[in-house]
Structure 1
Amino acid sequence: MDDTTETGTPEHLSPDAERERRWRLAVGADGAQSSALSSEDRRLSAALNALYGDGEDKGQDSRKRRGGLGRSAPRVAEWMGDIRSFFPQQVVQIIQKDAFERLDLKQMLMEPEFLKAIEADVNLVADLISLRNVMPSKTKDLARGLIADIVAKLIERLERKTAEAIRGALDKSRRTNRPRQRDIDWRRTIQANLRHYQPEHKTVVPEKLVGFMRKQRRLVDLDEVVLCVDQSGSMASSVVYASIFAAVMASLPVVKTKLVCFDTAIVDLTDDLADPVEVLFGVQLGGGTDINQAVAYCTDRIERPTKSHLILITDLYEGGTGKEMLRRLAALVRSGVNVIVLLALTDQGRPAYDASMAGLVAGLGVPVFTCTPDLFPEVMAAALRRDDIVAFLAGADIKVVQADE
């Protein structure tokens, strides 16, 4: 066994030898047999060269760098195992994304061996959804189980925060001496119990609690949230997150939640919200975009405009009638609907979007911005309170699109 550290770096290398090692790793395959590289280093070099090395096919454009993993699912699974052993999860996901783009590994998603080896994330869910109709039955069952695992992890991450942010707005005009812990008004509680101050402990021991009484809301009084989500290919991760949030919100008795996905067709998934995995399998990723048609569909299903919130999640690249879409959005705003446009709901960087259309939508008085999944519950809570969303976002250091002059 080579004398190496846990990271595969040889111990006791001189500075010159360490520089050579790093150079050989950067160069790739030609240096893979160098004595400066340990066995772990050579595995790392081979794993990266498989994806990023120069192609050997003479028919390829020599300017294109391309490796190869062959068409064998076990070979790809072994390669993914090596990548996971060398890099942290975030880097693995970047390499995995590069592999999809460079080597057309989407075909490999139909192989059970590959699905067992791959690092699961939101982007993988989108890829599996887009391929579900061409998967063999055995692979489809495995894909559904993998999606269910990812969804469960995302719900665990997001559900509590969403529930706490949205569940029953507090009625601060009414008070109770038996509040729930999160409804305690600590300032008034301390004020009411100052006579119970304990000098030896330097604290107040409250004899009674003062808190806010929750609103008792009837079904007909509930705010209605319509998540209208662009399911064109560029919005894949947003669709996954929006579907999960819709399922979480639908489980809360304090709001009525609807989920509508669209490209050039419209899929109303509201009736499936009890099962987020079923919701995702109802999504049709890809295709064009007709935002105007989707806004028209949602408008027809809004019963009480002043109690309704339309969250339109789209990059605003309109394939339908842009002027008509703007007219519909303006009419919704005038009727009292709280309209918000999210250009993306994603953990990743700044998305591409139609800047001209975004400026026109912002000119209607509609907040237009990008949102991370972790911030979304707070955005929804602010929307339900009818807070000034632009001011709220400024406090969170989130930039909004400015209206066109």
Structure 2
Amino acid sequence: MDETMGRRQIIYWRMLAAMFGQQEQAPNLEKLAHETVAELGMPGLLLRPDISTDNFLQRFPEYFDEMDLKLGEPGEPLRRAVIASHLLLNSFGPFTQQETVTAAQYSQWLRTVEFLERALGYEKGSLRGQGPGASVSPEHGRAMPSPEICLATRELEQSLIDRMRLAELLQDRQLARQLTPSIGLVEQLLRQKGNISGVALEEAKRLIRTYVAELAEILRLEVQRAPAGKIDRSVPPRRTARNLDVKRTVWRNLPNYDPESRKLLVDQLYFKPHGRKKLPMDLIVVADQSGSMVNAMVHCTILASIFASLPHVTAHLIAFDTRILDLTPHIHDPFEVLIRTELGGGTMINNALQFAREKIREPRRTALVLITDFYEGGSDQELLGTINSLVQSGVHFFPVGAVTSSGYFSVNQWFRTKLKEMGRPILTGTPQKLIRDLKQFIVI
């Protein structure tokens, strides 16, 4: 190993030690790294994780171009290693692990990530999921495949937002516009919407509306792609070329075959039935407002608005904690529904189901979606009895625990077992299963 390679390794090992707060455990690395930087004639501030890239460039503007590593071009490898370690340390180092994060710190972090994107050859915003990533050829030694570093950056940003004084950030429109809408951010905004006003509230609503619109488009496509219910053969098929049943037409007309002319005389055409009776249907969505249910509530609120747009579907939307809120007048606007919810509080599930029961006109033409973790504030036995009576009456009951495919989600194990025995297992995972089941019931 030549001396340059050895010193580069020292720089990177020292960066890892600093990133995890272990400098005191590796004093020799710290000393050698500072000696290397001094020999290169570079400022020692590059090794300090508490100095942001922006602050460094304010003092040493001549390093602006050098921050763009241009990995494909020849250059001093040791200098590039020092710059790279600075960018990585400021993007993922000790500052990002603080208990609280200010809006100013978040803004500085965004700027550092922009420099990191330039250094790695990415489009601006691509590491945070806001733009297409530009590839970098393997021979240039990219330290981490782009999907991994993108995922790490996005997860870190969400963690920073979780620890940040969000109201302070939202007051700055320019900074707020750099936030990436996500379910975690939506949950925080819904929790804090009662404590913010003015510009901050406007930006909060914009972020929620953006996320809802993006998710609605995805779910609308999922609804279109999901298989529909059984074909109703009592509905006459449309007599179009596309629906022609060639096999059946040939088979039924075989008696008309003329051997001399070797022609099949067709006196009747047969068509494939595709019809499905669109009977009037009722959809009732009952959503737990507790904070742990935000993901499921957002998805199901949007799904309710999609199905409610069908002319033969009458939809109701009910939110609850210890109180009951009928949001049916706003069901066509998921954003308005979410803004009107109040996260937190207890859960009186049975009361909400009793309220929903009053909306049922014809049980066999009613789908009831209950979104909750099934931790009932009242009697578990009474709640189970209510669910059983709904199922026995013919209501199509869909219990939803979570519609997210990642992370651990807690659902009352007693209800998980009992509802499975009843033939109504609690749905957890991606929303595709719920969409498929609803579409089997509600003809589109």
Question: What does residue 421 of structure 2 align with?
Answer: 363
Q: Are the equivalent residues in 1 in contact too, given 2:287–2:318 (CA < 8 A)?
A: yes
Measure the CA separation in 2 of the matches of 1:254 and 1:331: 26
Q: Is 1:117 the equivalent of 2:178? A: yes
User: SS of the counterpart of 1:228?
Assistant: strand
Q: CA deviation at 1:356?
A: 2.0
1:45 aligns with one of 77, 84, 89 = 89
Task: Map 1:375-386 onto structure 2 (within 5 A).
Answer: 375-384=433-442
Q: Are the equivalent residues in 1 in contact too, given 2:416–2:425 (CA < 8 A)?
A: no
Q: Are the equivalent residues in 1 in contact too, given 2:229–2:441 (CA < 8 A)?
A: no
User: SS of the counterpart of 2:369?
Assistant: strand
Q: Which has the higher strand share?
A: 1
Q: Is 1:296 the equivalent of 2:296? A: no
Measure the CA separation in 1 of the matches of 2:414 and 2:325: 27
1:351 aligns with one of 409, 418, 426 = 409
Question: What does residue 76 of structure 1 align with?
Answer: 106
Q: Which has the higher helix share?
A: 2
Question: What does residue 16 of structure 2 align with?
Answer: 26
Measure the CA separation in 2 of the matches of 1:371 and 1:117: 30
Question: What does residue 139 of structure 1 align with?
Answer: 200
User: SS of the counterpart of 1:229?
Assistant: strand
Q: What's the CA shift string for 1:9-34, capped at 9, x where partnerless? A: xxx99765565455334323556629
Question: What does residue 256 of structure 2 align with?
Answer: none
User: SS of the counterpart of 1:310?
Assistant: strand
Q: Structure 2: where are the runs of 5+ without partners?
A: 24-29, 31-45, 49-77, 118-126, 130-150, 254-268
Q: 1:43 to 1:177 in 2, by over 3 A?
A: same
Q: Structure 1: where are the runs of 5+ without partners?
A: 1-11, 54-65, 196-207, 386-405
Q: Is 1:271 the equivalent of 2:329? A: yes
1:246 aligns with one of 304, 312, 326 = 304
Q: Give the structure with higher Rg (CA).
A: 2
**Percent of aligned pairs with the same amino acid:** 24
Question: What does residue 263 of structure 2 align with?
Answer: none
Letter in 1 for 2:361: E
Letter in 1 for 2:290: S
Q: Is 1:309 the equivalent of 2:367? A: yes
User: SS of the counterpart of 1:260?
Assistant: strand
Measure the CA separation in 2 of the matches of 1:68 and 1:39: 27
Q: Mean alpha-carbon deviation: is it higher for 104-113 or for 361-370?
A: 104-113
Measure the CA separation in 2 of the matches of 1:132 and 1:315: 24
Q: 1:116 to 1:366 in 2, by over 3 A?
A: same
Q: What's the CA shift string for 1:329-386, capped at 9, x where partnerless? A: 111111111112111122423411211232123333322230313443213123448x
Q: Mean alpha-carbon deviation: is it higher for 233-242 or for 142-151?
A: 142-151
Q: Are the equivalent residues in 2 in contact too, given 1:74–1:113 (CA < 8 A)?
A: no
Measure the CA separation in 1 of the matches of 2:96 and 2:241: 57
Measure the CA separation in 1 of the matches of 2:407 and 2:96: 23
TM-score calculated relative to the size of structure 1 = 0.73
Q: Are the equivalent residues in 2 in contact too, given 1:129–1:285 (CA < 8 A)?
A: yes
Q: CA deviation at 1:68?
A: 5.5
Q: What's the CA shift string for 1:58-87, capped at 9, x where partnerless? A: xxxxxxxx3654x3x243223135447654
Measure the CA separation in 2 of the matches of 1:110 and 1:99: 14
Question: What does residue 151 of structure 1 align with?
Answer: 212
Measure the CA separation in 1 of the matches of 2:275 and 2:5: 67
Letter in 2 for 1:115: A
Q: CA deviation at 1:233?
A: 0.8
Measure the CA separation in 2 of the matches of 1:82 and 1:236: 32
Q: CA deviation at 1:281?
A: 0.9
Q: Are the equivalent residues in 1 in contact too, given 2:296–2:401 (CA < 8 A)?
A: no
Measure the CA separation in 2 of the matches of 1:14 and 1:249: 64
Q: 1:25 to 1:270 in 2, by over 3 A?
A: farther
Paired residue total: 340
Q: Are the equivalent residues in 1 in contact too, given 2:170–2:203 (CA < 8 A)?
A: no
Q: What's the CA shift string for 1:211-263, capped at 9, x where partnerless? A: 3343453xxx4121211111101111111111111111111224222221111
Q: Is 1:329 the equivalent of 2:387? A: yes
* Deviation beyond 6 Å, 4+ runs, structure 1: 12-15, 166-169
RMSD value, Cα: 3.3
Question: What does residue 234 of structure 1 align with?
Answer: 292
User: SS of the counterpart of 1:118?
Assistant: coil
Q: 1:303 to 1:289 in 2, by over 3 A?
A: same
Q: CA deviation at 1:179?
A: 5.6
Q: CA deviation at 1:146?
A: 2.0
